[in-house]
Amino acid sequence: MTDILIKNLPIIVVLCPLITSLFVVLIPNIFFSWVLTTLSTFLTFLFSILLYQEIQIHSYISYALGKWMPPIGIEYIIDKVAIIPVIIISGISLIATIFAYKIMPEEIEKKSISKVYSLWLLAIAGLLGLVTTGDAFNLFVFLEISSLASVALVAMGAQKDKQALVAAYNYLIIGAVGATLYVIGVGLLYGITGTLNMEDLTNRISDLNNNKALIAGFGFMIIGIMVKAAVFPLHIWLPRAYAYAPSAVSVLLAATATKASLYILARILFSVFENSEDLINNTLLYVILPLSIIAMFAGTIMAIYEKDIKRLLAHSSVAQIGYITLAFAIGTKASIAAGFIHMFNHAIIKGGLFIAITSLGFYIQKRITINNLSGLGRTMPITFFCFVLCSLSLAGLPLTAGFISKLYLIKATISSDSIWIAILILISSALSVVYLWKMIEVMWMREGRKIVIKENPTIYLSLIFITFLNIYFGLDASLVVDGSFEAAEKLIEDLK
């Protein structure tokens, strides 16, 4: 029994949320639909932990779906790289689901809750499929599953604020354009190579050095994924979507959605197209690097001037995605590792911040703008304390996870002789303190309305847990750091 389980793990991780999503929709009771969702995300997380252990032994697992051998059949690949986003997505979904218990019924009417949970699981399944599949077209399928589910989830915010519909529509259109671009790229590649399996693609591409169709296909694919990953300036769907989605959905999307696409980006750049060195180097140097630097500053500056807190955090996400793509753009082993470290750390940081902010919104029953935060630090010490710690982690201050990311990122840039990039990163991260401090100061300094609010354990437990993770991975980062370096080694080895 366990043998079968272990053997089929790569697909079970995806199937677990996918199948439960079909059943959740049938349960009318709010509580039981939540229990089933939690159970399913918990199992998914458990399976990904098992998968992690498998990876430590085998370091590479290829799974042929339905025993159709690749490259004809669809192949699922888990290696030391793919396991990182798998753990991030399944872990964060579990935390977000637990957090959703109290928040979700508050914002969504009773009769649609089970449908929301169904979409929720569907989105998770899509994201997990996205990172485990080894087939370029199958990837498109999962891309669409996750996008459509997330769009519908964002639209559910309309019960509270009609703006959510606009946000969801934007997300849908831009997301669809991105996906279409990607699939055009896949089509072109299929035309010249006759295969959809990624590994097979890699081998066949090596013979077609300067084929125009190859370059065009690569361009389409990359831009399509960059839309999904919200790389500046293709991020415009993101702030609205995060801001108007129901609270729990913001948490889930902010922490996981772009991470999956960023991983795909890394995989296309360093693994699928590893044999077209000129193409990759030019893309990194002339496209990704400048865009990342602009993203770092644009996102931060937008965040400084933003009044709506959820949007503010979304802008900050754009900047943080900039750090990750910047790390990829430098393209050394150390910097790619730094990118993966930050991918993991940013997930727990942003997850924590969104949980903190949305729970504040839950308590005061208002949209959270900077003015509504006045004095909340004094009335809600626990939430405030966790919020401050997660903010410090985002700003990259010592003893938090964010510091580890920054440390390795700066070290990687300095070792690759680009001190000016290091200074730019530091200036932008110092600027990020400005908007974080703006919020902390308002909560701490200003007198607020005299309200007595009792913080709710079902809400703050997940917050405390994710804050704890921020501190824990700041003190004992070897798991993340080693994992990321192994991943980077794998990708770079591919590149050679």
Partner 1 sequence: MMTIENFILITILSPLIVCVLTPFISKSTILRDCLGPIGGVVSSWGAYNIMSSALNNQNITLEIVKIAEGISIGFEITPLGAIFGLVASFLWILAAIYSVGYMKGNEEKNQTRFYAFYAMAVHAALCIAYAGDLLTLFIFYEVLTFSTYPLVTHKQDEMAQKAGRLYMSILVGSSVILLLPAIIWVWVATGSLEMSQNGVLDGKLDVAYAPLLLAMFVFGIGKAALMPIHKWLPAAMVAPTPVSALLHAVAVVKAGVFTMLIVLTNVFGIDFLAKTGASEWLIWLASFTLLATSIIAIYKDDLKARLAYSTISQLSYITLGGALATSMATQGATLHIITHAAGKITLFFVAGALYVGAKITKISDLNGHGLCAPLIFLAFFIGSLSIIGVPPMAGSWSKFFLMLGAADSGNEVVIGVFCISTILNAFYLMEIPARAFFFKKERDIKVKIPKLVLIPTLITSFLTILLFFFIEPFQNLTSMMVSKV
Return the number of the residue (117 or 403) whose C-beta is nearest partner 1. 403
Q: Per rule CB under 8 A, is residue 300 in the interface with partner 1? A: no
Q: Per rule CB under 8 A, is residue 385 in the interface with partner 1? A: no
Evaluated on CA atoms 370, 371, 374, 380, the torsion sign reads: negative
Q: Per rule CB under 8 A, is residue 399 in the interface with partner 1? A: yes
The only residue of 87, 104, 272, 481 in contact with partner 1, by rule CB under 8 A: 481
Site for partner 1 in 414-443 (CB under 8 A): 414-415, 419, 422-423, 426-427, 429-430, 433, 437, 441
Site string for partner 1, 442-471 (x = CB under 8 A): --xx--------------------------
The span from the CA of 454 to the CA of 436, in Å, is 25
**Distant-in-sequence contacts of 142-150, Cβ < 8 A, 24+ apart:** 143/179, 143/182, 143/228, 144/179, 146/122, 146/257, 146/260, 147/171, 147/172, 147/175, 147/176, 147/179, 147/228, 148/172, 149/119, 149/120, 149/122, 149/123, 150/123, 150/241, 150/249, 150/253, 150/257
Q: Per rule CB under 8 A, is residue 269 in the interface with partner 1? A: no
395, 345 contact by CB (below 8 A): no
Q: Is 310 left (phi over 0), alpha (psi -120 to 50) or beta?
A: alpha
The span from the CA of 493 to the CA of 341, in Å, is 18
Cβ 462 to partner 1 shortest distance, Å? 24
Q: Per rule CB under 8 A, is residue 60 in the interface with partner 1? A: no
Question: Under 8 Å CB-to-CB from 361, ≥6 apart: which residues?
Answer: 247, 367, 368
335, 421 contact by CB (below 8 A): no
Distances from the Cα of 446 to the Cαs of 39, 75, 323, 370, 439, in angstroms? 42, 57, 33, 11, 11
User: Exposed, middle or buried, 381 (CB in 10 Å: 0-12/13-18/19+)?
Assistant: exposed
293, 353 contact by CB (below 8 A): no
* Continuous segment of H or E residues that includes residue 297: helix 289-305
Residue with the two structure tokens 């399996």: 197
Q: Per rule CB under 8 A, is residue 404 in the interface with partner 1? A: yes
Site string for partner 1, 239-268 (x = CB under 8 A): ------------------------------
Q: Per rule CB under 8 A, is residue 472 in the interface with partner 1? A: no
Query: What are the structure tokens assigned to 251, written together?
Result: 């948490």
Return the number of the residue (230 or 422) whose C-beta is nearest partner 1. 422
Return the number of the residue (143 or 409) whose C-beta is nearest partner 1. 409
Number of H helices, E strands in the chain: 22, 2
Cβ 435 to partner 1 shortest distance, Å? 13
The only residue of 314, 360, 474, 491 in contact with partner 1, by rule CB under 8 A: 474
The span from the CA of 205 to the CA of 68, in Å, is 23
Site string for partner 1, 343-382 (x = CB under 8 A): ----------------------------------------
Number of residues that bind partner 1 (CB under 8 A): 32
Q: Per rule CB under 8 A, is residue 92 in the interface with partner 1? A: no
User: Exposed, middle or buried, 210 (CB in 10 Å: 0-12/13-18/19+)?
Assistant: exposed
Cβ 353 to partner 1 shortest distance, Å? 18
Cβ 467 to partner 1 shortest distance, Å? 16
DSSP letter assigned to residue 275: T
Q: Per rule CB under 8 A, is residue 476 in the interface with partner 1? A: yes
User: Exposed, middle or buried, 91 (CB in 10 Å: 0-12/13-18/19+)?
Assistant: buried
Tell me the three state secondary structure of residue 79: strand
Cβ 144 to partner 1 shortest distance, Å? 38
Cβ 426 to partner 1 shortest distance, Å? 5
Cβ 147 to partner 1 shortest distance, Å? 35
Return the number of the residue (10 or 299) whose C-beta is nearest partner 1. 299
The span from the CA of 238 to the CA of 178, in Å, is 13
Cβ 297 to partner 1 shortest distance, Å? 14
The only residue of 25, 166, 216, 397 in contact with partner 1, by rule CB under 8 A: 397
Q: Per rule CB under 8 A, is residue 407 in the interface with partner 1? A: yes
Cβ 398 to partner 1 shortest distance, Å? 4
Q: Per rule CB under 8 A, is residue 155 in the interface with partner 1? A: no
Paired residues of 270 in beta bridges: none
The only residue of 396, 402, 435, 443 in contact with partner 1, by rule CB under 8 A: 396
Q: Per rule CB under 8 A, is residue 297 in the interface with partner 1? A: no
Q: Residues in the site for partner 1, rule: CB under 8 A?
A: 392, 396-399, 403-404, 406-407, 410-411, 414-415, 419, 422-423, 426-427, 429-430, 433, 437, 441, 444-445, 474-478, 481-482
